Amino acid sequence: MRVLIVDDHPLVVTGCRALFTSDPSVEILEASDAKEGHRAYLQKHPDVTVIDVWLPDLTGFELTRRIRRDDPAAKIVMLSASEDPAFVVRAVEMGFQGYVSKSDDPRLLAKAIRKVAAGERFVSPRLAEATTFAGAAIKASPLTQMSQRELEILRLLGRGDHISEVASELGISYKTVANTTSVLKSKLGARNHSDLVRIAVEIDLHR
């Protein structure tokens, strides 16, 4: 089984390798950002890909969209520092078959990888329970009000990118980003660009 780990923290990759040291049938591949991860996926065709939600260039959501564009059957587990139930719901809606927090027992990640490789789904039991009892908070969260593209644009605006830089990063036109920014202001009740940045920071979307 080939497992691709896309994470910019060496300790995370080392920890993932350690989980499978006693199993020679598992090969761990690695990438440190979304673009490198996309290339590695296309070249290596891993059985399961583990993606951090916060990568240096793009989010794990955007990387997953790009991988799924090329391979709709890709099996993907999100490994995230975020324990916000809205993030869990968003990940499931976007097609992640697994979701594990970085603060969970590492053995849960190994379990998630094996479950997803076998065609099953897996969400950390602790996060699954928290999500079950957070219905109102999830509905009220801006995370569940945005499309995947809107989420990615808000994240890039939140980290300080200008509209032209967002367009370049996502490979879309300036006009598309500007129009989406206007939609986000209306959808999130933001009066101006600064309000959008504030919202991105409040929901921890600016890394």
Query: Is the pLDDT score of 206 beyond 70?
Result: no
pLDDT tens for each residue of 50-95: 999 888 888 888 899 899 999 999 999 999 887 778 888 888 888 8
- pLDDT, average across residues 185-201: 88
The pTM of the full predicted model, rounded to 2 decimals, is 0.82
**Helical axes 34-44 vs 60-70, angle rounded to 10°:** 30
Task: Find, among 77, 93, 62, the residue nearest to 3 by Cα.
Answer: 77
Q: What is the DSSP string of 1-29?
A: -EEEEE-S-HHHHHHHHHHTTT-TT-EEE
User: For the chain, what is the total number of helices (H) and then of strands (E)?
Assistant: 11, 6
Query: Is the pLDDT score of 28 beyond 90?
Result: yes
For tokens 């959008």, name the residue. 196
For tokens 């990759």, name the residue. 13
- pLDDT, average across residues 29-49: 96
